Amino acid sequence: MTGTKKIRMILADDHLIVRAGIRQFLDLEDDFEVVAEADDGEQAKILIDQHKPDVAILDIQMPKASGIEVTRHVRSNRWPVGVLVLTAFDDDPYVTAVLKAGANGYVLKTAKPMEIIQAVRDVYQGKSVLDRAIVSKVMAYLSSPAGPSITINLSDREMEVLTLAAKGQTNRAIAQQLAISDRTVQGHIARIFEKMQANSRTEAVMKAVSMGLIPPDIAHEEED
């Protein structure tokens, strides 16, 4: 690499051992500098606002705010930050939601270190990066004029619960707001998971956003 300018990065992942492993090979590059690390999405937002890195490397599923929410935060503030999502999830809803949020790259954690390093360089240069393992999925999705063909029939109450979950509210907070019991909320969540074929609140919310069940900006709202 020519010149002395370093590519400044924020690394956000809620698993310390994963961050340590990623940082280990990033630090070997002379033109790379990890200026800060975050273990949740809200901390990532703060650090990005503070440091204005060249590239933010984000996991998708993180406490307090997902990588998608952090991406939306970056784009809404118009920070000149390249966003590279580094995740274990290759499901269509994750991919499409991340790309719609404005991420520059989507790479799986199964990628080789040099592939991730190259992805950082590409994102820094303004290029779009998509893991080879999911290119065919994205192309199939984009080639379908109707998009996802799955039909989800949620009840009005389930939609209320899902919308509040998208805002980051806990089961207890949802129960209080809707004047129902915690157990009833858990039952609604379980039925939502079953209907949406989701394994987590985050997955259900992202599928709902990608399917148009809830507006993307809802998941960006802040909750105490």
The CATH number of domain 7-143, selected from 3.30.1490.20, 1.10.10.10, 3.40.50.2300, 1.10.3430.10: 3.40.50.2300
Distance CA 107, CA 13 (A): 14
Predicted confidence at residue 166, as pLDDT, reads 78
The pLDDT mean for the chain works out to 83
Which of helix, strand or coil describes residue 153? coil
Residue 117 CB neighbours (<10 A):
16
Q: Which two tokens mark 219?
A: 């998941």
Predicted confidence at residue 20, as pLDDT, reads 94
| DSSP one-letter string for 174-200 | HHHHHT--HHHHHHHHHHHHHHHT-SS
Residues 41-95 have pLDDT tens digits of 999 999 999 999 999 999 998 999 999 999 999 989 988 899 999 988 877 677 7
CA distances from 143 to 137, 138, 140, 148, 166 (A): 10, 8, 5, 11, 28
Q: Where in the chain do CATH 1.10.10.10 domains reside?
A: 156-220
Q: Is the pLDDT of residue 100 over 90?
A: no
Q: Is the pLDDT of residue 144 over 70?
A: no
The CATH number of domain 156-220, selected from 1.10.287.610, 3.30.460.80, 3.40.50.300, 1.10.10.10: 1.10.10.10
The mean pLDDT of 137-156, rounded to a whole number, is: 60
pTM for the model stands at 0.62
Predicted confidence at residue 33, as pLDDT, reads 96
Q: Where in the chain do CATH 3.40.50.2300 domains reside?
A: 7-143
Predicted confidence at residue 216, as pLDDT, reads 58
Residue 144 CB neighbours (<10 A):
10
| The residue to which tokens 């998009």 are assigned | 147
206 pLDDT tier (thresholds 50, 70, 90):
low
